[in-house]
Structure 1
Amino acid sequence: MVAEARGLFAAMADRDSITWTTMVTGLTQNGLQSEALDVFRRMRAAPGVGIDQYTFGSILTACGAIAASEEGKQIHAYVIRTLYDDNVFVGSALVDMYSKCRSIRSAEAVLRRMTCRNIVSWTAMIVGYGQNGCGEEAVRVFSEMQRDGIKPDDFTLGSVISSCANLASLEEGAQFHCMALVSGLRPYITVSNALVTLYGKCGSIEDAHRLFDEMNFHDQVSWTALVSGYAQFGKAKETIHLFEMMLSKGVKPDGVTFIGVLSACSRSGLVEKGRSYFQSMQEDHGIAPLDDHYTCMIDLYSRSGRLKEAEEFIRQMPRCPDAIGWATLLSSSRLRGDMETGKWAAENLLKVDPQNPASYVLLCSMHASKGEWSEVAQLRRGMRDRQVKKEPGCSWIKYKNKVYIFSADDQSHPFSRTIYDKLQWLNSKMVEEGYKPDVSSVLHDVADSEKVQMLSNHSEKLAIAFGLIFVPQEMQIRIVKNLRVCVDCHNATKFISKITGRDILVRDAVRFHKFSNGICSCGDFW
């Protein structure tokens, strides 16, 4: 009842510190952070009104919510002048504010200066690192908190498990799972939801579903975690079934849930189903589409070869797609050989993000597939002139708590000779089984024999060879790749799984691929 609160506040002839602070806090809690900042400014100007830890805590929360970093810094300076910088309540709020403003180093600097740190201070830092994509740092701070003698609560443990999920670190995540069981925190929904998310993002979707079934209560986050997990595997049937069950239980989906459902539809070619969910999201659930939802729809049409429908959808959008949306259309145009749509997408991608290498790389691929090498050379000159750099592809595998990273033609590993010998053996066996290298992804005007050699030493193949040598037979080989897996590596890995009898899980930039006995879980639709 914000309007009533405003009216009472305005009618008061005399306002003390508690009155002002209550108003600042109420506005912040109701999502009116800018107004809260305005009230705080008036409070500072009011004669005889003191500002205490509760006022600072509320206004710093408001700054963090709207990423008002400049105002946050000014308030921090005022905190120091008023000698509240060593207050644990204010210090925790500062850590949270800087984290949400993406000034993570400033957040840790505040934490280090605090002479007294409690569970809230440490948790704010762990959450901050997790939200800023620094999962390893979150795990480090969690360990430091334990050494400081502070036991985690359900929120702290859930936060560090979520960081492991974003790292796709199953080994560390499993250790935290054990900690949750030993500490008795496992039944808390924050911990359970984080564990479902962890196993889903690490490719252990069966374990994620088992944990979900063991939960006594499921909220929106629980359902969304499982829906998103199945969607990443491209299991559209299971994803849709879970989503419909969620609705039948009366649990309201949010925008993230719909991203999972729409992406599952796009990766399985369910165009009409995806279109109906997109419409239902707005009409039945009142969720306004964000860039990610529009990108899912562009992917839904273009991945199914309906590029003209994708183009029409884009022209009817209330705003232009973001860089990912244009790159999605461009990628599908390359796969379909539609040069006209590809050029249109590339031109718009360059307008939105001039330094994005995707437009150059994908156009190069389109021209290379048609043997138009002069156009490829021209595009490469354009990249050099604009100083656009393509992110190098790399793959990594974790073995005995150590991460081994490989790039294409990597010779730096101490076991390189053994790895390349293994690859050579695999190549000969694959050829016997009928494998034919797909050289369409090689963007160099060289002989086919050279192209085949380039393909044979791709980073994921090196990582898989390492896994076959060192990972025990009974264990699954888990590879993570920073880019999308190429067509040739996808085909080759299917052959490798059949030849060796090993299960190989590859998490690329888009989704999971589980290879078993010559078949991939994506059904060759990715």
Structure 2
Amino acid sequence: MSRGFKRAAREAMATIKDCVSVAAQENAQITRGTLLKLHSLERARLVHSQLLESFHLDIFVLNSLVDLYAKCGSMEESSRVFHGMACHSLVSWNALLLGYAENGDEQLCLEIFSSVSERLGLESLNGRTFVAAFKACSGLAVKETGQVVSNGELAKLGALAKGMELHSKAVSRGRIDIFVANSLIDMYGTCGSTLDAAKVFDKMPERDVISWTALVSAFAVNGQVEIGLLLLSKMVESGCKLDVGALVTGLKACMSLASKEAGVDVNGKLVKVVSLEKAMDLDSEALKQGSEAHVFVSNTLVDLYAKCGSLLDSRGVFDRMKLHTPISWTSLLAGYVENGESQLSLDLFSEFLRDFQPDAQAFTAALKACGNLANIEKLAFFHARICRCGLESEPLLANSLVDVYGRCGSIASAHHLFDCMAMTDSATWNGLFAGHSRQGKSKAVLELFHAMQEQGLKVDEISFTCVLTACSHQGLVELGKRYFDAMLDRAKHGACTIRVEHYDCMVDLLGRGNQLEAAVELARSMPMGASAVTWTSVLAASQKWRNLAVARIAFEALERLNAKDSAAYMLMANVLNSTTKVKSILHCTRKSFQVSM
């Protein structure tokens, strides 16, 4: 091979490597049903055509092109380059396999892996081949509906079985490299098996920051957030420096913790104190290491502080940032909306519009603010802007528009949008349910719920909340019981999650139907424990039906929860007054009857 040809090949490889780096930073866009990084793809095609004109491409350059097209999201072109090659090395196969795994065609990746392993033999494969296969299993797990297993975890059993089979093959080759083990931890975590993830971690002779981060993430995404954060502390204690990925993983774990925390009232705002303290610890670590300057870390902190109820800290991080991205603004704006500052969010939105073109997430935050304020004029303004941007068919925005028009009392507009949509999902129907429910049209909610089921759409937690509320308002106790039983059955198989609001709806339904003993029994059996809302509902039903015995049970339960307020005392007083009057009337009636005798 001539010296000039070698130099040209090195230059070609450097150019392609630069294109791959740019593609890694670009956000993909849906084009004809495929997620493509359009600017990088255009550049890749240009580089490819220039290389074809300049010299005959060797296998190293062609392998890099297979990888480049895959990184841009175009597996059609990646596969075309691969199949046009005169011969293939293991690097060629690895590039193709990883491309399919990362671009959503996991099943094809695993089929090709099986074919290659049979053709070349397991001993000929390397760690990167297995990493691609493990990534494919992780992708399958994301798409699979989980099932609750004996230890309470939600496992993706199909993907888990395939992952275990591949793990066994990797072990049969001998020592597992650190990057393969890291991929295994990630795969087991995604499949819902923290036990297997921990086993792989414990057997590793050496670990790096990616190993620790993968294990923290495995526990965090499977609901064991406290363990995940404890592991993060152990990671620091072991002398492993937190990088950007580890910090972002820890911050997202804090978000999960905040979503579960009840919070306390601080000057009229709900603050998640425990989560906030952990967030501050991680923020301090990020500042110490200089990582807060990284835009990903800062964006996550803005979002996290808002979710913990501390808008002051959220705005503080935002103001310290040297560079703001649309994600920074969207996190801040959404934070204000979630914390009851919808008008301030809309005021800030005008600043955002001066520098950036909003995406679907940003518009969604603005629409939610309009809904909270019931501001139909501002809603119409944003709706028009969404249409000008060509985003009206974006599912997230289409669903939000249906929901917010309902919130603003324009159910006719919500229905019009719903009828014009080419495709609807559970979120779309839920928005329509909620709109009718707010206007007291319970019969319409039940009719829509029946129509949704007939179309075979998935009924989720929000759907059940709406229909149980409708049953309560209509006094349809038996129908509500059937829906609740159906929900319990789905929850056993991991198809949905029962929350406290579903139990509250059922307690309210039973109370309205004068089934007070059943309401008390259900409240006492709640796995998450009855809340003050639950027992206040029982107390209100006791007043309606003048049941002093049940009222006392509810009042004592509120006392144990330290949740007695003026409303509870008023309800109890009304029950006592009403039952005293009834006893007085009965006494007078008996006395007059005896005199007449």
TM-score (norm 2): 0.61
Q: Which string of whole-angstrom CA distances, capped at 9 and with x for unpartnered residues, describes residues 346-400 of structure 1?
A: 4346664568542553023312xxxxxxx443335435764748644599xxxxx
Q: Which string of whole-angstrom CA distances, capped at 9 and with x for unpartnered residues, describes residues 224-262 of structure 1?
A: 211210121243333234444334323x54443333222
8 Å CA contact 1:364, 1:443 repeated in 2 = no
Given the superposition, is the C-alpha separation of residues 444 and 299 from structure 1 closer, same or farther in structure 2, using an over 3 Å criterion?
farther
Q: What is the rounded CA distance, in whole Å, between the counterparts of 1:150 and 1:60 in structure 2? A: 25
Q: What is the rounded CA distance, in whole Å, between the counterparts of 1:354 and 1:5 in structure 2? A: 39
1:303 to partner: Cα distance: 1.8
In structure 1, which of residues 144, 153, 156 is the aligned counterpart of residue 234 of structure 2?
144
In structure 2, which of residues 78, 82, 104 is the aligned counterpart of residue 9 of structure 1?
82
8 Å CA contact 1:254, 1:287 repeated in 2 = no
8 Å CA contact 1:192, 1:211 repeated in 2 = yes
2:124 matched to 1:50?
Answer: yes
8 Å CA contact 1:119, 1:150 repeated in 2 = yes
1:51 to partner: Cα distance: 1.3
Match of 1:289 in 2: 394
Match of 2:38 in 1: none
> Does the residue aligned with 1:216 lie in a helix, a strand or coil?
coil
Q: What is the rounded CA distance, in whole Å, between the counterparts of 2:435 and 2:556 in structure 1? A: 26
8 Å CA contact 1:227, 1:243 repeated in 2 = yes
Match of 2:447 in 1: 344
Given the superposition, is the C-alpha separation of residues 236 and 391 from structure 1 closer, same or farther in structure 2, using an over 3 Å criterion?
closer
1:325 to partner: Cα distance: 4.6
Match of 1:127 in 2: 217
8 Å CA contact 1:295, 1:325 repeated in 2 = yes
The structure whose residues are more often helix, as a share, is: 2
Match of 2:134 in 1: 60
Q: Which of the pair has more CA radius of gyration?
A: 2
> Does the residue aligned with 1:221 lie in a helix, a strand or coil?
helix
1:170 to partner: Cα distance: 1.0
8 Å CA contact 1:327, 1:345 repeated in 2 = no
Match of 1:407 in 2: 530
Q: What is the rounded CA distance, in whole Å, between the counterparts of 1:458 and 1:281 in structure 2? A: 49
Q: What is the rounded CA distance, in whole Å, between the counterparts of 1:166 and 1:249 in structure 2? A: 31
Q: What is the rounded CA distance, in whole Å, between the counterparts of 2:234 and 2:418 in structure 1? A: 49
8 Å CA contact 2:178, 2:206 repeated in 1 = yes
2:166 matched to 1:75?
Answer: yes
1:210 to partner: Cα distance: 1.6
1:50 to partner: Cα distance: 1.9
1:222 to partner: Cα distance: 1.7
1:459 to partner: Cα distance: 7.1
In structure 2, which of residues 188, 206, 226 is the aligned counterpart of residue 116 of structure 1?
206
1:450 to partner: Cα distance: 8.6
The residue identity in structure 2 corresponding to 1:79 is A
The residue identity in structure 2 corresponding to 1:362 is T
**Which is bigger in relative contact order (C-alpha 8 A, separation at least 6)?**
1
Q: What is the rounded CA distance, in whole Å, between the counterparts of 1:332 and 1:448 in structure 2? A: 34
> Does the residue aligned with 2:473 lie in a helix, a strand or coil?
helix
2:178 matched to 1:88?
Answer: yes
> Does the residue aligned with 2:241 lie in a helix, a strand or coil?
coil
Q: What is the rounded CA distance, in whole Å, between the counterparts of 1:272 and 1:174 in structure 2? A: 39
2:397 matched to 1:298?
Answer: no
- What RMSD, in angstroms, separates the aligned Cα atoms of the two structures? 4.1
Matches within 5 A, 1:169-248: 169-248=275-354
Matches within 5 A, 1:316-335: 316-322=420-426, 324-335=427-438
Matches within 5 A, 1:453-464: 462=561
1:214 to partner: Cα distance: 0.6
2:546 matched to 1:447?
Answer: yes
8 Å CA contact 2:543, 2:551 repeated in 1 = no
Structure 1 stretch displaced more, 338-347 or 26-35: 26-35
2:94 matched to 1:21?
Answer: yes
Given the superposition, is the C-alpha separation of residues 309 and 452 from structure 1 closer, same or farther in structure 2, using an over 3 Å criterion?
farther
Q: What is the rounded CA distance, in whole Å, between the counterparts of 2:343 and 2:83 in structure 1? A: 57
Q: Which string of whole-angstrom CA distances, capped at 9 and with x for unpartnered residues, describes residues 329-359 of structure 1?
A: 4444344222332322343466645685425
Matches within 5 A, 1:308-387: 308-322=412-426, 324-348=427-451, 352=457, 357-367=464-474, 375-383=475-483, 386=486
1:124 to partner: Cα distance: 1.5
1:28 to partner: Cα distance: 4.6
Q: What is the rounded CA distance, in whole Å, between the counterparts of 1:457 and 1:287 in structure 2? A: 52
The runs of at least 4 aligned residues of structure 1 exceeding 6 Å deviation read 437-441, 448-461, 463-466
> Does the residue aligned with 2:214 lie in a helix, a strand or coil?
helix
Q: What is the rounded CA distance, in whole Å, between the counterparts of 1:460 and 1:316 in structure 2? A: 52
8 Å CA contact 1:406, 1:462 repeated in 2 = no
Q: What is the rounded CA distance, in whole Å, between the counterparts of 2:132 and 2:558 in structure 1? A: 49
Give unpaired runs (5+ residues) of structure 1: 368-374, 396-404, 411-419, 421-436, 467-487, 493-526
Match of 2:16 in 1: none
8 Å CA contact 2:110, 2:136 repeated in 1 = yes
8 Å CA contact 1:193, 1:222 repeated in 2 = yes
Q: Which string of whole-angstrom CA distances, capped at 9 and with x for unpartnered residues, describes residues 197-237 of structure 1?
A: 11100111122112101111122332221121012124333
Given the superposition, is the C-alpha separation of residues 178 and 16 from structure 1 closer, same or farther in structure 2, using an over 3 Å criterion?
same
Given the superposition, is the C-alpha separation of residues 43 and 381 from structure 1 closer, same or farther in structure 2, using an over 3 Å criterion?
closer
Given the superposition, is the C-alpha separation of residues 301 and 153 from structure 1 closer, same or farther in structure 2, using an over 3 Å criterion?
same
1:295 to partner: Cα distance: 3.9
1:139 to partner: Cα distance: 0.7
Q: What is the rounded CA distance, in whole Å, between the counterparts of 2:557 and 2:350 in structure 1? A: 41
Q: Which string of whole-angstrom CA distances, capped at 9 and with x for unpartnered residues, describes residues 395-439 of structure 1?
A: 9xxxxxxxxx973469xxxxxxxxx9xxxxxxxxxxxxxxxx999
Kindly, what percent of the aligned residue pairs are identical? 24
Q: What is the rounded CA distance, in whole Å, between the counterparts of 1:338 and 1:461 in structure 2? A: 37
1:106 to partner: Cα distance: 3.7
Q: What is the rounded CA distance, in whole Å, between the counterparts of 1:274 and 1:91 in structure 2? A: 50
1:46 to partner: Cα distance: 3.3
The residue identity in structure 1 corresponding to 2:403 is D
In structure 1, which of residues 156, 165, 178 is the aligned counterpart of residue 255 of structure 2?
165
The residue identity in structure 2 corresponding to 1:366 is H
Match of 1:269 in 2: 374
Structure 1 stretch displaced more, 225-234 or 350-359: 350-359
Match of 1:522 in 2: none
8 Å CA contact 1:301, 1:307 repeated in 2 = yes
Structure 1 stretch displaced more, 67-76 or 310-319: 67-76
1:90 to partner: Cα distance: 0.5
The residue identity in structure 2 corresponding to 1:57 is V
> Does the residue aligned with 2:316 lie in a helix, a strand or coil?
helix
Q: What is the rounded CA distance, in whole Å, between the counterparts of 1:133 and 1:280 in structure 2? A: 39
Given the superposition, is the C-alpha separation of residues 288 and 331 from structure 1 closer, same or farther in structure 2, using an over 3 Å criterion?
closer
Q: What is the rounded CA distance, in whole Å, between the counterparts of 1:73 and 1:14 in structure 2? A: 32
Q: What is the aligned residue count?
A: 425
Match of 2:30 in 1: none
8 Å CA contact 1:162, 1:197 repeated in 2 = no
8 Å CA contact 2:229, 2:250 repeated in 1 = yes
Given the superposition, is the C-alpha separation of residues 381 and 246 from structure 1 closer, same or farther in structure 2, using an over 3 Å criterion?
closer
Q: What is the rounded CA distance, in whole Å, between the counterparts of 2:479 and 2:104 in structure 1? A: 47
Q: What is the rounded CA distance, in whole Å, between the counterparts of 2:193 and 2:101 in structure 1? A: 21
